[in-house]
Chain A
Amino acid sequence: MTAKMKGAAMVIAALEQEKVDTVFGYPGGAVLPLYDQLFHSRIRHILTRHEQGAVHAADGYARAGGRVGVVFATSGPGATNLVTGIANAYMDSVPLVIITGQVATRLLGTDSFQEADITGITLPITKHNYLIQEIAQLPQALAEAFHIAGTGRCGPVLIDIPKDIFEQEGRFDYPRQVDIPGYKPTYEGHPGQINRAVKAIRDARKPVIFAGGGVIRSGASQELRALAEKGQIPVTLSLMGLGAIPGDHPLFLGMPGMHGTVAANYALSQSDLIVAIGVRFDDRVTGRLDSFGKGAKIIHIDIDPAEIGKNIKVDIPIVGDVSRVLKAMIQRLQPGDTESWRQQTETWRREHPLRWEEQAGSPLKPQYVIREICRAAGEEAIITTDVGQHQMWTAQHYCFKEPGTLISSGGLGTMGFGFPAAIGAKLARPEKQVFCIAGDGSFQMNVQELATAVSNGIDVKVAIINNGCLGMVRQWQELFFEGRYSYSSLAGSPDFVKLAQAYGATGLRAATPEEVPGVLEQALKTPGPVIMDFVVEAEENVYPMVAPNRPIHEIMTGGNQE
């Protein structure tokens, strides 16, 4: 199909070809022609109240819906407001296509009004980006952007389009198939390496599976579970992997790393074979690198060859799509003798459960709130989080049973991610109950999106774990800075119930354990966005904890732990 059309129409036509039904964005001068075209389109546009909200919402939409999220923003400040969200998506390998308007080509490079070099700025935080300089480049760039964003190791791709190019006419031949000479992801694992991995598993006596976000993205949770069960191998999941096997599965040891369980950290430390699947050995998991997995052989399966050997020396590298590699491995797998190791990990798990101290009349404990949310929300609910203590308590105490039910900012650690991501997730999966577990600090970083949720009737439930401070900062100040609480108090925060009401949402509050179930029940009964303010104990710390750059078996369990 060949037709002459304007650049703006090409963008919309490409979105339609890619079956995009929702775009998140914010209009402005340089994208006026694009928004004018969108006006006539059937594509739904969600107007957020800040560009950062738009890109996080598209991120949540992409993760929950398993598809490419699309964002529109204008040039200059519109584009720079996206930067945090793009970096967030890049770190967590989330497929996004971001269309930014740019000043007209004749003004490029002249420091003109609302000009910013967004392709230069986003070079290190996009999988690829384009500055369109001629209309003829646009159809190919659009097709390539969707292809690059959504294949291989997914990631954000930005297309910067000058205003005059939106208005120029050109031929639109949307390529059905994209062939990019410098981009050929590897999907099939090398059979020889797979054989070596299978043999290593058979020979191991103390194997542990360490899996992460790659399993979720690849849709490989069934294969992961089959591998673990057939090989009788205990499993630990990184934050990004939670839900890949059910949180109450007998082989599941919990999350490893800085706030991981004793069982997971001991297992990784004492294992003789770590089967790493779709993970990138982040420092929050490995702790001190030179003592991580010291006595273990390491098998590393990942779609991104550059992740293999980046942080950890790997004995058996397998580049490929996790799901395909695991399928091939399971077929050939012969279980080894892991019986006594299983007993050992089971003992650790039994002897060191996650716990917190609670007495009658004590202030509301955040861990209890998380467990109550888990009970009320149901197994299939999607949970988004912000970043900090509440995020770690969610990872520890919420029992994720399905893949993709946790959407969190893992790599970048972006406060303000959770709420807009929840809006995006709900739009992608309207049939799902969507909860955002937030901190009082994080929530205020994108609180303006309450207007987005209310005006679009988006049914998300926000649980603010309100401790009146930047809890994780406070915890580090207590533990590593001799209790000098330098600017970590959030005194002066608004009354979140009244704030919700001011936006036209519902606000609820619980300050005692007795009130929690009632508030949750009320929230679930109330249609539309609900903000729940859970006023919790300010001094509660996240334990277990491994101090930064310490070996992960050196676990502080805190005063309220064994």
Chain B
Amino acid sequence: MKHVLAVLVENKPGVLTRVAGLFSRRGFNIENIAVGETVDPGISRMTITVSGDDTTIEQMVKQLNKLINVLKVSDLSREPTVVRELMLIKVHAEANTRSDIQQIVETFRAKVVDVSLESMIIEVTGNDEKLEAIKLLLQHYGILEIARTGKVALSRGSKVIKENP
């Protein structure tokens, strides 16, 4: 099963290496990872999507907690969560297909952020299902290139993840 882990870490050099190294040497699978600063510039938030059974996830969380630079690990899959990812898709588009693509873009509430004679870049944000759906439709026209940010996530409601006191 897929889990989304929110990991608060000290914003120091080498921390990403420590986390990535831990996953690879212990044979844990990372599906994707996104890193960025939090409200506190000294603390970064890693959103790590992983797959594994409950025992494996428990080990991941415990091993992450052992890293000195890791301040807090939360498994967001255990609560209602907003998960989003941004994807840029460069799709093959000529005069005769451009308006069809435009329609798809509108339906998905995506955006066209670049147009050339033979291509368009579409910016789309959403959860996995939405991104996969638009990708599938655009494949019909020929996808030239894709770039994705990796998932970020926040739990719903006013509860926040803070470092341990």
Q: For the complex, what is the distance from the CA of A124 to the CA of B14, rounded to whole Å? A: 13
Interface residues of A in 162-211 (CB under 8 A from B): 180-184
Q: For the complex, what is the distance from the CA of A124 to the CA of B19, rounded to whole Å? A: 11
Interface residues of B in 38-80 (CB under 8 A from A): 55, 58-59, 62-63, 65-71
**Which chain B residues border A124 with CB–CB below 8 Å?**
21-22, 25
Digitize B82-108: 1 where CB-to-A-CB distance is under 8 Å, 0 elsewhere. Answer: 000000000000000000000000000
**Which chain B residues border A309 with CB–CB below 8 Å?**
55, 58-59
Residue of A131, A148, A305, A313 near B68 (CB, 8 A) is A148
Q: For the complex, what is the distance from the CA of A283 to the CA of B59, rounded to whole Å? A: 18
Interface residues contributed by chain B, number (CB under 8 Å): 23
Q: For the complex, what is the distance from the CA of A127 to the CA of B69, rounded to whole Å? A: 11
Q: Find the B residue at minimum CB distance from A180.
A: B68
**Which chain B residues border A310 with CB–CB below 8 Å?**
59
Q: Find the A residue at minimum CB distance from B60.
A: A306
Tell yes or no: A550 within 8 A of B by CB. Answer: no
Q: For the complex, what is the distance from the CA of A182 to the CA of B59, rounded to whole Å? A: 17
Tell yes or no: B164 within 8 A of A by CB. Answer: yes
Tell yes or no: B130 within 8 A of A by CB. Answer: no
CB distance from A309 to the nearest CB of B (A): 6
Chain A contact residues: helix, strand, loop or mixed: loop
Digitize A417-456: 1 where CB-to-B-CB distance is under 8 Å, 0 elsewhere. Answer: 0000000000000000000000000000000000000000
Q: Which among B9, B25, B68 has the greatest number of chain A C-beta atoms within 10 A? A: B68
**Which chain B residues border A148 with CB–CB below 8 Å?**
68
CB distance from B54 to the nearest CB of A (A): 10
Q: Is the CB of B65 within 8 A of A305?
A: yes
Digitize A60-84: 1 where CB-to-B-CB distance is under 8 Å, 0 elsewhere. Answer: 0000000000000000000000000
Q: For the complex, what is the distance from the CA of A181 to the CA of B72, rounded to whole Å? A: 10
Q: For the complex, what is the distance from the CA of A304 to the CA of B62, rounded to whole Å? A: 9
**Which chain A residues border B55 with CB–CB below 8 Å?**
309, 313
Q: For the complex, what is the distance from the CA of A313 to the CA of B69, rounded to whole Å? A: 28
Interface residues of A in 97-137 (CB under 8 A from B): 119-120, 123-124, 127-128, 131, 133
**Which chain A residues border B158 with CB–CB below 8 Å?**
none
CB distance from A72 to the nearest CB of B (A): 23
Residues of A within 8 A of B (CB): 119-120, 123-124, 127-128, 131, 133, 148, 180-184, 304-306, 309-310, 313
Residues of B within 8 A of A (CB): 9-10, 13-14, 17-18, 21-22, 25, 55, 58-59, 62-63, 65-71, 163-164
